[in-house]
């Protein structure tokens, strides 16, 4: 398996989930109901947890040095 391809897939997942957090929070600001508002925020929370997962994968596989990603993990919490 090509290392660059694996890295590209991991970064793509990280960017997708990371940017989805803000998008869902922004959508929640235009919610049509309290239930819709809460749903969007719950999705944002799930995306934050997924983002943390991808950061941990990058750290544990030593693809990126831990000290470079730990601030992002901390911010995500």
Q: How far apart are CA 8 and CA 63, in angstroms?
A: 11
Q: What are the pLDDT digits (tens) for 23-67? A: 999 999 999 999 999 999 999 999 999 999 998 888 888 676 767
pLDDT at 47: 97
Domain ranges of the chain: 3-76
Please check the confidence at residue 73 and state whether its pLDDT lies above 80: no
Looking at CATH, the fold of the domain delimited by 3-76 is given as: de novo design (two linked rop proteins) (1.20.1440)
> Would the pTM of this model clear 0.75, i.e. be above it?
yes
Q: Are the C-beta atoms of 45 and 28 separated by less than 8 Å? A: no
What pLDDT sits at residue 1? 67
């Amino acid at each position: 398996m090509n290392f660059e391809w694996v890295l590209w897939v991991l970064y793509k997942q990280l960017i997708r989930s990371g940017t989805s957090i803000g998008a869902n929070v922004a959508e929640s600001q235009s919610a049509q109901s309290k239930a819709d508002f809460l749903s969007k925020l719950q999705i944002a929370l799930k995306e934050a947890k997924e983002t943390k997962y991808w950061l941990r994968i990058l750290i544990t596989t030593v693809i990126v040095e831990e000290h470079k990603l730990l601030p992002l993990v901390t911010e995500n919490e």
